[in-house]
Amino acid sequence: MKAVELKKDVYWVGALDWAVRDFHGYETPRGTSYNNYLVLDDEITLIDTVKYDFADITIKNIIGVVDPARIKHVIINHIENDHVTSLDRVMALAPDATIYISDKGKRGLERFFDLEKWKIKVVKSGDTLCTGKKTFQFIETPMLHWPDSMVTYLHEDKILFTQDAFGQHIASSGRFDDEFIAEYSEAVLEDAVVDYYANILMPFGQMIKMKIAEIEKSGFEIDIVAPDHGIIWRQNPGKVFKTYLDLANGKANLSVAVIYDTMWQSTEKMIVPITEGIREAGVGVKVIKLRATPTSIAIKEFWKARGALIGSPTLNNITYPSVAEYLTHLRGLRPKNRLVGAFGSYGWGGGAVKEIYDEFKRMGLDAVDPGLQVLYKPSRKDEEICFEFGKNFAEKVIEYHNKF
């Protein structure tokens, strides 16, 4: 796809990755895009590059607008592989360019490339770059989501280039929010934002709130938010800030995600009465079987619901492997403001439910004790107990939800 103009003399020159379905373990059913931007002025600036495999595409897009040899400045907002691994290909065509990068970014970039051959300028929050009639201003955003991360504001055009923040894994010919919404829907876009936030930004809620406050305090007017993945926000850029603040403040649906796996369908047989109990309490429920669902989707569903019940059979006195793997993944994302519980079947001796509660404790999650275990296969009596377990848990979720 050719370059797309955001505003006069400001172009998207990135690449669409329609085919990717596994983005370092993250399920991407809509593919993704690697966005980078070219700004024409007396001196020409490139903001970010793309994943190595797409170097030819961004170079072609740049050449479609300008001779790359005329690029004087290359701003690197983030050094993860999907944004810098074509930097040497671009720099080979722009030998006079200076790279602008945070201090931690430079230290990371040294692990990718020999920097001796390039001019590098380390920048910090508040530093500016004037290219003639336009001025860029840098704002460091460490741990949003890597230590090196920063965003760049283009004053005259009121564009905030945000690297991964405010992105979504979407490949679409419509490069802007209004175009995507017209082709699909606002709900599909919102779901993509929540998916991306849950799987990438969940641990960094406090930093998100701080940085949004800092940007608002700076008084920057923002017409366009231009992330490094997915669609560009021009219709209502304030809305994505609001969505992020809501998510960082722990916004969730009054519902329960039942996330489980099963060995001989005994734990699975507990699901129907448990979900009936949840519904009896007037709470919505969604059931996710782990070996039938990509981990990133199970993470998103956990994050969307105020409560989660984790179900696992006991295997060799410990948690079933797919459930243990999921919980490890979840722990790394440091979830907060969710109420959890656990259930499962066992044969010779329990173990899984206790281990899951230990994991909840490590995560610092609020849990409803003591969980529910069923010997071998649920009997009719056990099904009644499962129903009450689901109902009691959902009632506690309602109380918990009302605190937010």
CB of 379 to ligand FEO, least distance (A): 50
Q: Which is nearer to ligand FEO, 82 or 268 (CB)?
A: 82
Part in contact with ligand FEO (CB under 6 A); list of ranges 1-9, 76-84, 207-215, 263-271: 76-84
Q: Which is nearer to ligand FEO, 80 or 191 (CB)?
A: 80
Please tell me whether residue 53 binds ligand FEO under the rule CB under 6 A: no
Part in contact with ligand FEO (CB under 6 A); list of ranges 80-88, 215-223, 247-255, 267-275: 80-88
Residues 355-374 that bind ligand FEO (CB under 6 A): none
C-beta separation of 295 from 301 below 8 A: no
Binding pattern to ligand FEO, positions 125-154, x when CB under 6 A?
A: --------------------xx--------
Residues 216-245 that bind ligand FEO (CB under 6 A): 228-229
Residues 157-196 that bind ligand FEO (CB under 6 A): 164
Q: Which is nearer to ligand FEO, 230 or 371 (CB)?
A: 230
246 is catalytic: no
> Which among 83, 229, 260, 383 is annotated as catalytic?
229
> Which among 37, 100, 140, 145 is annotated as catalytic?
145
260 is catalytic: no
401 is catalytic: no
Phi and psi dihedrals of 102, rounded to 5? -70, 165
> Which among 73, 78, 169, 401 is annotated as catalytic?
78
C-beta separation of 305 from 252 below 8 A: yes
The binder of ligand FEO chosen from 80, 127, 186, 325 (CB under 6 A)? 80
229 is catalytic: yes
Q: Give CA–CA dist 4/255, Å, rounded.
A: 41
110 is catalytic: no
> Which among 9, 53, 80, 214 is annotated as catalytic?
80
3-state SS string for the chain: CCCEEEECCEEECCEEECCCCEECCEECCCCEEECCEEECCCCEEEECCCCHHHHHHHHHHHHCCCCHHHEEEEECCCCCHHHHCCHHHHHHHCCCCEEEECHHHHHHHCCCCCHHHCEEEECCCCCEEECCCCEEEEEECCCCCCCCCEEEEECCCCEEECCCCCCCCCCCCCCEHHHHHHHCCHHHHHHHHHHHHHHHHHHHHHHHHHHHHHHHHCCCCCCEEECCCCCEECCCHHHHHHHHHHHHCCCCEEEEEEEECCCCCHHHHCHHHHHHHHHHCCCEEEEEEHHHCCHHHHHHHHHHEEEEEEECCEECCEECHHHHHHHHHHHHCCCCCCEEEEEEEECCCCCHHHHHHHHHHHHCCEECCCCEEEECCCCHHHHHHHHHHHHHHHHHHHHHHCCC
Q: Which is nearer to ligand FEO, 118 or 146 (CB)?
A: 146
CB of 161 to ligand FEO, least distance (A): 13
164 is catalytic: yes
Please tell me whether residue 83 binds ligand FEO under the rule CB under 6 A: yes
Q: Which is nearer to ligand FEO, 230 or 351 (CB)?
A: 230
Query: Helix 271-280 to helix 380-401 angle, to the nearest 10 degrees?
Result: 40
CB of 163 to ligand FEO, least distance (A): 7
Part in contact with ligand FEO (CB under 6 A); list of ranges 35-43, 74-82, 102-110, 390-398: 74-82
The binder of ligand FEO chosen from 30, 73, 78, 391 (CB under 6 A)? 78
**Residue whose token pair is 């840098």:** 138
Count of residues that interact with ligand FEO, criterion CB under 6 A: 9
Which residues bind to ligand FEO, rule: CB under 6 A?
78, 80, 82-83, 145-146, 164, 228-229
Catalytic residues: 24, 78, 80, 82, 145, 164, 196, 229
